[in-house]
A = this chain, B = another copy of it.
Amino acid sequence: MTIDRHTAHEKPTGAQVLLDAAAGRGVSVCFANPGTTEMPLVTALDRTPGMRAVLGLHENVCTGAADGYARIARRAALTLLHLGPGLANGLANLHNARRAHSPVVNVVGDHASWHLPFDAPLTSDIAALASTVGAHHEIVDRVAVAAVTRRAIDDAHERLGVSTLVVPADLQQLTEQEPPQEEKRCAVPRPGVEGEAVEQAARRLRAAGSQGVLLLGGEGLSRLGQFAAGRISAATGARLYSETFPARAERGGGLPPIDRLPYFPETAVEALRDAAVVVLAGAPEPVAYFGYEGMPSRLAPQRTLHRLADVGQDVEQALVALAELVGVEDRPAGAQPLAEPAPGAALTGQTVGAALASRLPEHAIVSVEGGTCGYPFYSASAAAVPHTVMTNTGGAIGQGLPAALGAAIAAPERPVIALQSDGSGLYTAQALWTMARESADVVVLIAANHTYNVLRTELARHGSTEPGPQAARLTSLGEPAIDWVSLARGFGVPASDATTVGELCAALGDALRARGPHLIQMTM
């Protein structure tokens, strides 16, 4: 293989060795926004068969796309970022990837090692930045390039997290004595769950009856996991919840109608108040999203918690074992389908959620960001055809559009829909351009209410039901109103407007039939 690409007198560069090592580990996509210190890697991309480079106009598009890609492909993509500032720009979506347990491997070019001591303008503390989102692997000499690259990739897959590989420019350029041996690697199975944890869960759920709660997260939200959860519920009477912001949840197609644990702590505490046991299956202990005076951080009484399986374990298998143990084969019926709203109805969170759920194509991937339509859609979509939902697990906004892009690259055969609030969408609207360039089949639905609505709610919770003029302006996206149709066209994405359910359904149908991306501005 190497002979085809390097003539006898041309040894591979460090950059080439790095990309070959990544390709050898099955990595096939690189979401890139490179600069001067990554030029040898850019050149080497053209000599790495099977490695597809995808340009983002901002690093947070690249990192968010890598997160979305990992959620669907179940393996890491590379990002290619320029020095400390490039990594800094991508940190918010790396934070989200960390919270979503998505394997992502950043490749960050650094100054030539001999140039670093001179504190040139773009020098900064890359290690400190990388440490905030995961582990940091520095390539320090020419013989380490392949080994450290493999270690960073394996580390991301084992920890289900973010690895950052820092590669000085001189080491990208250096030629090695020998091309590295390819080292095969077997997939590492997730560690299983102790039988005792399963048996205790069974005993406690049986004893609790309708006061039992099963909280699903991670792989517990696969189809297999949820069907097992439905059987457990049918056998014991336990109530089922998903974690509030699942990285990836299978939905619809006859799955039990599992809603998310409510967002606000008072509602979540209420939901768990009478619980005798809360069994955690791939979900962490539920805690409040924010601390509110007078409300607890911990949402469930400590004595009720039982850890069946952590996110790093084989959660599906634990749920199946538990379902076998509690002994019922019957599946609960799926959710009742919702009636589609009238075509003349105005667009609200409820009508958009119901309309989209009823028009969803089979096996669609829906990237949901923002509360306006996100919550109502999730509830409605229990009754839809089989599909996959991704939410913003880490809470750093600007994740929905890049994640939709990454999902479309991971699964080109599946339609992708981004159900996106306007405020968060504006963080990474540049993702639209990459969708256009890659002809990604993404339909972007913008909930254009022209406010940071969640903040209006929060102001009210802080007693500011009538915000002052500055508070009102700081939570408004009006004056002037953003025109998403113009923005989309500016980025090369066809776009249209909808103000009623009928217009939305017509535009959605057209967009799904066409190839490539389309944006629909939903005026709410």
Contacts and interface: CB of A to CB of B under 8 A. Distances in A.
Interface of A: 32, 34-37, 39-40, 42-43, 45-47, 52-53, 55, 57-58, 60, 84-85, 88-89, 91-92, 95, 99, 111-112, 114-115, 117-122, 124-125, 128-129, 131-133, 169-170, 173, 245, 287-293, 297-298, 393-398, 423, 426-427, 429-430, 433, 436-437, 454-455, 458-459, 461-462, 464, 467-471, 473-477, 479-492
A91 B95 contact: no
Given A131-B128, A470-B46, A474-B55, A288 B120 contact: yes
A91 B459 CA distance: 27
Contacts of A133: 124
A305 to B, nearest CB: 13
B46 A471 contact: yes
Most chain B CB within a 10 A radius of its CB, from A40, A426, A470, A479: A470
B132 A39 contact: no
A521 B122 CA distance: 29
A482 B490 contact: yes
Contacts of A470: 42, 45-46, 52-53
A115 B39 contact: no
A121 B485 CA distance: 32
Nearest to A454: B36
Contacts of A462: 39-40, 43, 173
Given A111-B290, A132-B125, A43 B436 contact: no
A290 B487 contact: no
Given A297-B115, A480-B433, A486-B489, A289 B42 contact: no
Contacts of A43: 459, 462, 464, 467-468, 471
29 contacts: A34-B455, A39-B458, A39-B461, A40-B462, A42-B474, A43-B459, A43-B468, A43-B471, A45-B471, A53-B470, A58-B427, A60-B89, A88-B91, A89-B91, A89-B92, A89-B398, A95-B124, A111-B290, A117-B297, A118-B287, A118-B288, A121-B289, A170-B291, A437-B480, A480-B492, A485-B490, A486-B487, A486-B490, A487-B490
A387 B192 CA distance: 69
Nearest to A284: B119
Contacts of A47: 468
Nearest to A51: B470
Contacts of A121: 99, 245, 289, 393-395
B84 A88 contact: no
Given A42-B474, A118-B298, A437-B473, 7 more contacts: A36-B290, A39-B462, A42-B459, A84-B95, A88-B91, A112-B293, A170-B291
